[in-house]
A and B are shown apart, each in its own frame.
Chain A
Amino acid sequence: MLNALVAFLNYVFVPAMAYGSQLALGALGLTLVFGILRFSNFAHGDTMAFGTMCVIGVTWLFQSWGISFGPLPTALLALPFGIVLTAAFVLATDRMVYRFYRVKKAKSIILVIVSTGVMFITNGLTRIIIGPEERNFLDGERFVITAGQFKALTGLTEGLAIKSTVAISVVVAALCVAALFWFLQRTREGKSMRAYSDNEDLALLSGINPERVVMVTWIIAAALATIAGTLYGLDKSFRPFIYFQLLLPIAASAVVGGLGSPLGAIVGGFIVAFSEVFVTYAWKKVVGYLVVLDLEPTTLLQLLSTDYKFAVSFTILIIVLLFRPTGIFKGK
């Protein structure tokens, strides 16, 4: 029984928590841009890739200088520099591309298509600069607790391993979310963003400067994208194409929670992550501990092969759009 619980925690809960944190951060960036600039930013996945690439670059630089962060990955030290570079890149994109359409008051569908263009450009840039192949940039301690240590500690046959990247993902995501909510709820700048998102015309009448709101939004979105991308890259590995694909579960997360709602993005991230892991995990082991020996399942008890994990996001997306298009937290 305890073994079943530990196996469940080890193979389902812990990985889903880490993945959920990463998705939540990605979805937060997407939902903020939607709330303020009023379009779904298709380039968000590739902004994550670009940000992660910047972090990897700075990490390599630090490593070549012999700088490390002790037991923690050097990438965490490089993160602030990656954020600055990505924010600069995103602001430049806004100045060169999006602002042109904003001034013309283009419809949001046009902006969506424009962002698709930006997506391809960003994607291409990333591949040119760092190359399309897989990169591993994790260093420092690998585990907070290994399966062997856990077994020795508890005497169970099933081990629970917690990778340091999982712990880092959850902690960093929690810190980011707390900081973001504090910013949105308590600061003048954050309140003006919420006001602009709520009622653009009235915000203008109140003297809120739209260009400033847009700029702050891009910077925050770039920061969130870089952090989400780096956490994902540390936990798994970095490949530009994977990040492009990540856009789907991230978009699903934002839509499930309600587009434009930050709280919804977080809840949505975990819903999508848990659903994905639940249906693609082979439950044989967990069930095996729960039933008497001769009833042990002969198949893997896996609902879907992991190759189909994107089908989960798609299904969730379609179900939500059909039955509750505004999402859980009443987005737009």
Chain B
Amino acid sequence: MAEPFLIGESMTGGYGAVDILHDCTIAVDKGQIAVIVGPNGAGKSTAMKAVFGMLNLRGGRVVLDGEDITKLTPQARVRKGMGFVPQTSNIFTSMTVEENLEMGAFIREDDIKHTMAQVYDLFPILKQKRFQAAGELSGGQRQQVAVGRALMTQPKVLMLDEPTAGVSPIVMDELFDRIIEVARTGISILMVEQNARQALDIADKGYVLVQGANRFTDTGQALLADPEVRRSFLGG
């Protein structure tokens, strides 16, 4: 099998002296959706941040499209084509929706109108509210702004840290639909999710982490069907 588009391989490390990740491997193929699930404190977000370069790795490496990017800063990774949507404070609350998108495209020198139109096509509600301060929007709409902002750099990989945290089930379904749409345009998606069942349902690949290490890795459907995964992590 060819090497995946983005892989964090055998990652070991943490924020301080104590390692949180132990030989953890996360990968996503082109245009596919990979989902990281697991119990609280399993290191899901940490694994994501490690792939994005937000903590120092003691072991392992991160490879994007065949290039070793382990030593790059998060900002440099954005320029390499990675988009990251943090779990909290992921929008500029005092700025309008349109300004949020403009700031997302800050590193681009070319014309951003086309990309902005694409984002508005994907999230029509944002077009209606484009001159409104992003901080005044509802939770689901704010998440759309956050995803839209990250899409403005035209990333090859989009990383989402719990995109559905704190939104209603209906909004969650809609967000997942949009995420599938994004993946269909050829962008790889790597996301951490609390709502494991729904997330695995749309995942091409699922990673179940426990205590910073891979426990189960399989396709989303296979994990959903696995009796042990169901019993331990999906509540039966």
Name which of A104-112, A114-122, A187-195, A312-320 contacts chain B: A187-195
Find chain B residues with CB under 8 A from A206 CB.
78, 103-104, 106-107, 149
A200-242 interface mask toward B, CB cutoff 8 Å, 1 = contact, 0 = none? 0111111110000000000000000000000000000000000
Q: Are B103 and A204 in contact (CB under 8 A)?
A: no
**CA gap between A235 and B235 in the complex, in Å:** 75
The number of A-B residue pairs with CB atoms under 8 Å apart is 57
Interface members, chain A 173-201 (any B CB < 8 Å)? 188, 191-192, 194-195, 197-199, 201
Find chain B residues with CB under 8 A from A188 CB.
102, 106
B99-121 interface mask toward A, CB cutoff 8 Å, 1 = contact, 0 = none? 10011101100000000000000
Find chain A residues with CB under 8 A from B94 CB.
194, 197-198
Q: Are A205 and B91 in contact (CB under 8 A)?
A: no
B95 CB-CB contact with A under 8 Å: yes
**CA gap between A198 and B74 in the complex, in Å:** 20
Q: Are A191 and B89 in contact (CB under 8 A)?
A: no
A300 → B minimal CB distance (Å) = 47
Q: Are A205 and B95 in contact (CB under 8 A)?
A: no
**CA gap between A201 and B91 in the complex, in Å:** 10
Q: Are A198 and B90 in contact (CB under 8 A)?
A: no
**CA gap between A203 and B84 in the complex, in Å:** 12
Q: Are B92 and A204 in contact (CB under 8 A)?
A: no
**CA gap between A207 and B86 in the complex, in Å:** 15
Q: Are A202 and B91 in contact (CB under 8 A)?
A: yes
Q: Are A194 and B106 in contact (CB under 8 A)?
A: no
Interface members, chain B 182-235 (any A CB < 8 Å)? none
Find chain A residues with CB under 8 A from B92 CB.
194-195, 198-199, 202-203
Q: Are B86 and A202 in contact (CB under 8 A)?
A: yes
Q: Are B107 and A198 in contact (CB under 8 A)?
A: no
A305 → B minimal CB distance (Å) = 42
> In the complex, what residue of chain A is closest to B52 when comparing beta carbons?
A205
Find chain A residues with CB under 8 A from B40 CB.
none
B58 CB-CB contact with A under 8 Å: no
A264 → B minimal CB distance (Å) = 13
**Given A206-B103, A206-B107, is A199 in contact with B91 using a C-beta cutoff of 8 Å?**
yes
Residue in A188, A195, A201 with the greatest tally of chain B CB atoms within 10 Å: A195
**CA gap between A192 and B99 in the complex, in Å:** 10
**Given A205-B75, A207-B78, is A199 in contact with B89 using a C-beta cutoff of 8 Å?**
yes
> In the complex, what residue of chain A is closest to B146 when comparing beta carbons?
A202
Q: Are A195 and B75 in contact (CB under 8 A)?
A: no
**CA gap between A49 and B177 in the complex, in Å:** 60
**CA gap between A198 and B103 in the complex, in Å:** 12
**Which of B78, B84, B95, B106 touches A198 (beta carbons < 8 Å)?**
B95
Q: Are B89 and A195 in contact (CB under 8 A)?
A: no
**CA gap between A250 and B90 in the complex, in Å:** 33
Q: Are A199 and B106 in contact (CB under 8 A)?
A: no
- Taking residues whose C-beta sits less than 8 angstroms from the other chain, chain A's interface range is 10 to 19
Find chain B residues with CB under 8 A from A198 CB.
92-95
Residue in B78, B92, B99, B107 with the greatest tally of chain A CB atoms within 10 Å: B92
**CA gap between A208 and B107 in the complex, in Å:** 7
> In the complex, what residue of chain A is closest to B149 when comparing beta carbons?
A206
**CA gap between A245 and B25 in the complex, in Å:** 61
**Given A191-B95, A194-B94, A198-B94, is A203 in contact with B89 using a C-beta cutoff of 8 Å?**
no
Find chain A residues with CB under 8 A from B75 CB.
204-205, 207
Q: Are B84 and A205 in contact (CB under 8 A)?
A: yes
**CA gap between A195 and B91 in the complex, in Å:** 9
A84-126 interface mask toward B, CB cutoff 8 Å, 1 = contact, 0 = none? 0000000000000000000000000000000000000000000
> In the complex, what residue of chain B is closest to A192 when comparing beta carbons?
B106
**CA gap between A204 and B106 in the complex, in Å:** 10
Closest 9 CB pairs of A and B: A207-B107, A198-B92, A195-B103, A206-B106, A198-B94, A207-B106, A206-B103, A195-B92, A199-B92
| B interface residues (Cβ-Cβ under 8 A, vs A) | 74-75, 78-79, 84, 86, 89-95, 99, 102-104, 106-107, 149, 153
Q: Can you identify 30 A-B contacts, CB atoms within 8 angstroms?
A: A188-B102, A191-B95, A191-B99, A191-B103, A192-B103, A194-B94, A194-B99, A195-B95, A195-B99, A195-B103, A195-B106, A197-B94, A198-B92, A198-B93, A198-B94, A199-B89, A199-B93, A202-B89, A202-B92, A202-B149, A203-B103, A205-B75, A205-B78, A205-B86, A206-B78, A206-B149, A207-B75, A207-B107, A208-B103, A208-B106
